Structure formats: C-alpha cells, structure tokens
Amino acid sequence: MNRVTTIAALATLAFAGGALAQAPAGDASRGREKVQMCQGCHGIEGWRTAFPEVYHVPRIAGQHAAYFVKALQAYKSGERSHPSMRGIAASLSEQDMADLAAYYAAPATATAGK
C-alpha cells in the first residue's frame, strides 16, 4: 500500500468513526419497553405473514446493532420498501432505533426462546 492510499484509508476511517460517534447510544432497557410493535411478527419463531405477500418473517433477536439501525433508517427513508415496516420505522426517532437495536443485539435477547 503506498503512502497516498494509506492516508486516504486513514481519513476514511476517521470520518466513519466520527459519524458513528454522533449516533445516539442505545439503551437495551429502554428498548425492551418499545418492542410491542416488533413482537407481533418478529417474536414468533417461524412466523409467516401474508402482507403484502406471503413470506417468512426474519428473526431480529441477535442482529448486529449497527445493521439493525441502518435497516430501520432505510425503511423510514423509503430506501427499503415494505409497507408495514415503513410505517413502523416512520414512527421511530433515532434514539428509539438505537434503543431497539441495543435490546435486540443483547446476548440474552438473542438466546431467549431457544
């Protein structure tokens, strides 16, 4: 790796680190208070739904927190299109998303119900 590439890579990491530092910290205990809207579909092992089409609902317990927040942001912005998820994500603040992500990323949540 040459010097210019190394400097560019370090600058990118520094920028990304700054962006991550600005994201709100999630609180799993607050997230636990907000899961009612998630449990109806994501809390049932093997659940399938019929809206807008028949599909297997993914398990979200144990999901990486940063991915979880990015997915909710994408539903909220319309980048991901699913009518139910878009409606739910639209009602969430950035703090709500971080709290839910912290709850679902917690090891105890990931192994619950197994």
Q: Is residue 102 part of a domain?
A: yes
78-94 per-position pLDDT tens digit: 999 999 999 999 999 99
Where in the sequence is the domain holding 96, given as residue range(s)? 25-111
What is the Cα–Cα distance from 102 to 23, expressed in whole angstroms?
Answer: 13
Cα Rg, the chain, nearest whole Å? 17
Could you read off the pLDDT of 6-44 as tens digits, one per residue?
A: 455 555 555 454 444 466 899 999 999 999 999 888 988
Q: Is the Cβ–Cβ distance between 30 and 99 less than 8 Å?
A: yes
Looking at residue 114, its pLDDT comes to 42
Find out whether the peptide bond into 24 is cis, omega within 30 degrees of 0. no
pLDDT of residue 32: 95
Which 3 state secondary structure label does DSSP give 23? coil
pLDDT at 14: 52
Name the token pair of 109.
């949540």
56's enclosing H/E stretch is: strand 55-56
Residue 99 covered by a domain: yes
3-state secondary structure of 34: coil
CATH for 84: 1.10.760.10
Looking at the structure of the chain, the number of domains it has is 1
pLDDT at 18: 47
